[in-house]
Amino acid sequence: MPTSPPPPPSPGHRSSRRRLALAAAALSAVTLVASCAGPPGTASGSGASAAAGFHLVPGTPAAKGELASFSWALYAEPLTLDYINAFDYPSNMILSNVCESLMRWTPQLTEVPGLAEKASNPDPTTWVYDLRPGVHFHGGGVMTSADVVFSLRRQMDPALASAWSNVFQNVDSVTATGPLQVTVKLKTPDSQFPQYMATTAGVVASEAGVTKAGKDYGTAGGVDCTGPYQLGAWNKGQSLELDRFDGYWGTAAKSNKVVFDFLTDPSARTNAMLSGQVDGGYLIPTESYERLRGSKAGTLSFGQSLSTVNVNVTNMQGPLGDVRVRRALSLALDRSGFVRTGLAGGGAVTGSLTAAAAWDAAPADTRQAALNGLPPTAQDIAQAKALVQQAGATGKTVTVATSPIGQDVSLLATAVQAAGTRIGLNVQLKTVAPNAYSALFTDPQARQGIDMFPETYYLSITDPMDLLTNFQTGSYQNYAGYSDPGYDDLVKQATASYDPAQRLAVEAKLNQKAADQVLWIPVAEWPTSVFLNKRITGAPTTISYLYYPWAADVGAAG
């Protein structure tokens, strides 16, 4: 998916930033994590099949005491800690401990009150947030509704080109309706908006602090938020420190300090964890799984994620415009081989674009409707070859982008080439530099001559719609220009429904339609990975670390 280099330009399309984030992870060969729940028919929620080569755990043991400090490996330095541009792993992994949102994602990937102690929905186009009293900012001020209004309006300001602005495209107004109350008026009912208030889209920062920092906000000095940690020393190019905030309204952090070391080389990062130079890290390079598993230095754990590894179809003007060719490539792909090599066995084959865990809240019949009966994931070369012949595509050229940014990307691209070659297609690999690969997510010119590329997609909310909206007509990441009025109508129905069961029933139809039309080729689910040495414990194992103050839970192991 994305890369950390140049931040994507598009105002109003958060999925592009997410992709960039993902490419960023890939850039350092760390690659992105993928879903924790196994594919339909194998595992979900609490564990994965034994054959998958990994076991999901709900968390690491609770801390037994406090720490003076602990250190954490991070594959890249964040470009900024301005919350409106926090759309990548490095920035969110840090910022989730410093800034807080109106609502909060939990380690179990559920949503609970955050800085708003209550959220109410008096009518379909109104959301009212009643704020916690006595919440202090790191700079000394006390949070009021004015700070919330200011913070959300920054996300909506076109001049600032927020990475999260698409979340607010349906917002008509944000107003203070009391000293500790904010009312959001929507243009039409929007079931997704309130869920995103648990992400960085819902962060509240001090109006005074942001205004005082001006153009330097997020890149120098503090960010003046309310979290259990405040920004400490930032040694550019080397490390960043967080200091415990003694004025925190909630449970105090267990460590007085957190030090993030920027270690861009995967081997160096792994060696640092094994030697004790750093105490732990998320986003473990897949090629390091076995070294860390076999080490006595600590424990490698896998937890629930909401990510899937896919092949993004970017051009339907050529051979891939015929769904039979897309289906043929899907049938010919060796998914099991990719999981063994590209994910070092730490993943599970899937035929669903959305992670199975995203459907855990759905009624049993809805979950079955979404995940059962999807196109087969087992190889069928004979049927695939017949489909290519029926489409008159034998010998036609399909170009797949690849890049030396991680084995999840390079080996999946190679697997697509091998699949296509076996069924009569002329699949060409186009190797591009990491920055150029990142540009695939934001620059149409970069996608010229490219028909497909590997992408790992994580959900920022526990709702399949976060991915499924990508195939709506005109959506930012609908690179191939797919358009189906029936699909668009289902998206509108799901977006307008606040009833989870009703909404998920519609989304199940979308999931089936996206799979049947092979809008992207689903390949595997990929769990979150975290390594902790014997000195520390308490870190969540799930992808909640993007928006939950995970570092506050880390303390002494004994």
- The pLDDT-based confidence of 9 (bands split at 50, 70, 90) is very low
Asked if the model's pLDDT at residue 281 lies above 50, the reply is yes
Q: Does 33 score more than 80 pLDDT? A: no
Q: What is the pLDDT of residue 38?
A: 27
> Is the per-residue pLDDT at 500 higher than 90?
yes
Predicted pLDDT at 228? 98
The pLDDT tens digits for 143-178 are: 999 999 999 999 999 999 998 998 999 999 999 999
Give CA–CA dist 425/438, Å, rounded.
27
Q: So what's the pLDDT on residue 357?
A: 92
Residue 443 has pLDDT above 90, yes or no: no
CATH 3.10.105.10 in the chain: give the residue spans: 307-524
Find the mean pLDDT for residues 246-252. Answer: 97
Residues ≥6 apart with Cβ < 8 Å to 291: 270, 274
pLDDT tens-place string over residues 87-134? 888 999 999 999 999 999 999 999 999 999 999 999 999 999 999 999
Please compute the mean of the pLDDT values over residues 467-473 and round it to a whole number. 95
Q: Does CATH number 3.40.50.720 belong to domain 99-226? A: no
pLDDT the model gives residue 434: 79
| Domain 59-97+227-302+527-558 coded CATH 2.40.50.140 | no
* 130/115 Cα distance (integer angstroms): 9
Model confidence at 437, in pLDDT bands (50, 70, 90)?
A: confident
Phi, psi of 423 (to 5 degrees): -110, 15
What superfamily in CATH does domain 307-524 come from? Dipeptide-binding Protein; Domain 3 (3.10.105.10)
Q: Residue 8: which pLDDT band, with cuts at 50, 70 and 90? A: very low
CA distance 355 to 459: 9
Confidence band of 442 (pLDDT split at 50, 70, 90): confident
**Cα 303 from chain centroid (whole Å):** 14
Query: pLDDT band at 405, cuts 50/70/90?
Result: confident
Residue 11: pLDDT band with limits 50, 70, 90: very low
Scored b (16 or more CB within 10 A) or e, 52-70 reads: bbbebbbbbeebeeebeeb
73 pLDDT more than 90:
yes
Domain with CATH 3.40.190.10 in the chain: 59-97+227-302+527-558
pLDDT in tens, 187-216: 999 999 999 999 999 999 999 999 999 999
Sorted by sequence, the CB contacts under 8 Å of residue 489 that are 6+ apart come out as: none
Task: Give the mean pLDDT of 364-368.
Answer: 95
Residue 213 has a pLDDT of 95
Model pLDDT, residue 53: 62
Percent of the chain residues past pLDDT 70, beyond the cut: 91
185-197 in b/e form (b: 16+ CB < 10 A) is ebeebbbbbbbbb
DSSP state for residue 440 in the 8-state scheme:
T
Q: Is the pLDDT of residue 31 over 50?
A: no
pLDDT category of residue 5 using cuts at 50, 70 and 90:
very low
Q: In what order do the strands lie in the sheet with 298-303?
A: 229-235, 239-244, 257-262, 70-74, 280-282, 528-533, 298-303
Q: Given this model, what pLDDT does residue 175 score?
A: 98
Mean pLDDT of the chain: 89
Q: Render pLDDT for 285-299 as a digit per residue (tens, 0 to 9).
A: 888 999 999 899 999
**Confidence at residue 48, expressed as pLDDT on a 0 to 100 scale:** 35
Give pLDDT, residue 50.
34
Residues of the chain with CATH 3.90.76.10: 99-226
pLDDT at 540 over 50: yes
Q: Which residue has the higher pLDDT, 343 or 49?
A: 343
Distance CA 145, CA 514 (A): 41
Q: Is the pLDDT of residue 529 over 60?
A: yes
Using pLDDT thresholds of 50, 70 and 90, give the confidence band for residue 13.
Answer: very low
Over range 471-495, report the average pLDDT: 95
Give DSSP secondary structure letters for 523-543.
Answer: EEE--EEEEEETTEE----SG
What average pLDDT score do residues 484-496 get? Answer: 97
